[in-house]
Amino acid sequence: MGVINQGAVPQIENIWNYISKNECEKASSEAMQCFEEHLNERILQRLPVSPEELDEAGRSLIKSVLAQFKKKVVNFEGVKDFRNVLEVDMEKRLKQVRTENEREAKKELERCIDLEFQAIDRKIKSCEFKSIAELLHEFEKQAKEFTKITPIKGVLGTTILNDFLMRKTVEGAEALVKSKEAEIEKTKNTLKDVQKKTETELKELRSELNSTKSSGMIKISKL
């Protein structure tokens, strides 16, 4: 309007592009909001989900949102750029959700593993294992049972389980070593007490022997 008031005739093409650009910006914002809302309903409220389910839902949402965006906007030379930016933004958000999903899946798996191996953990803390070989055998047996009940899928799950088993095996071995060291120290203290008692008894015996010898000399001298 300012251009018209100044006596110039605005170019219809520029006005059309300006209006189209505003419509695309509005449609892009609404599309991204729609994507986030449906992502929250279908995925975020249910984390963790399987990677396959997340990818399938993500692809479906992106396709649907792009189709809705196309219906809302008018066709002008810059609309393709808006569409591409929107698609890139949704892919970036989906990548963030994948990372969050992996983090939640890891927490859930670690919680399940902790619960499943509680009995062994109690044995470790109470020093019930007599050897590292016995500890390893117990872990191997429990791990096989656990994977039957809770199938470990993918590299992440296998890595988490292996890391847990390694950490707990080291903890168990360290507890076993400390237990043996405590036994040795206790034995040393017991031996020290026995030695001290024996030395005291020996001292008393020597004292009695000397007294006996002295008494005997006195009797002999009186004869």
Q: Which residues of the chain have pLDDT under 70?
A: 1-13, 16, 76, 151-156, 215-223
Give Rg (Cα) of the chain: 41
Using CA atoms, how far apart are residues 153 and 163, in angstroms rounded to an integer? 15
Using CA atoms, how far apart are residues 95 and 100, in angstroms rounded to an integer? 9
Contact 98, 54 (CB under 8 A): yes
The dihedral over CA atoms of 28, 32, 38, 43, expressed in degrees to the nearest 10, equals: 150
Tell me, what's the pLDDT at 154? Answer: 64
Contact 149, 120 (CB under 8 A): no
Contact 20, 73 (CB under 8 A): yes
CB half-sphere exposure, 206, CA atoms < 13 A: 6
- Residues of the chain by 3-state class (helix, strand, coil), percent to 5: 85, 0, 15
Tell me, what's the pLDDT at 183? Answer: 84
Tell me, what's the pLDDT at 1? Answer: 44
Give the ranges where 43-153 is alpha helix by DSSP (H): 51-72, 79-116, 118-125, 132-149
Using CA atoms, how far apart are residues 184 and 190, in angstroms rounded to an integer? 10
176 to each of 139, 141, 170, how far by Cα in Å? 15, 19, 10
Residue with tokens 């020290």: 192
The helix/strand count (H/E) of the chain reads as: 7, 0
pLDDT digits (tens, 9 = 90+) for 128-159: 888 888 888 888 888 888 887 776 666 667 88
Q: Which residues have CB under 8 Å from 28's CB, separation 6+?
A: 69, 82, 85, 86
Tell me, what's the pLDDT at 96? Answer: 97
Tell me, what's the pLDDT at 68? Answer: 92
Tell me, what's the pLDDT at 38? Answer: 95
215 to each of 131, 206, 207, 222, 223, how far by Cα in Å? 59, 14, 12, 11, 13
pTM of the model: 0.63
Q: Which residues have CB under 8 Å from 53's CB, separation 6+?
A: 43
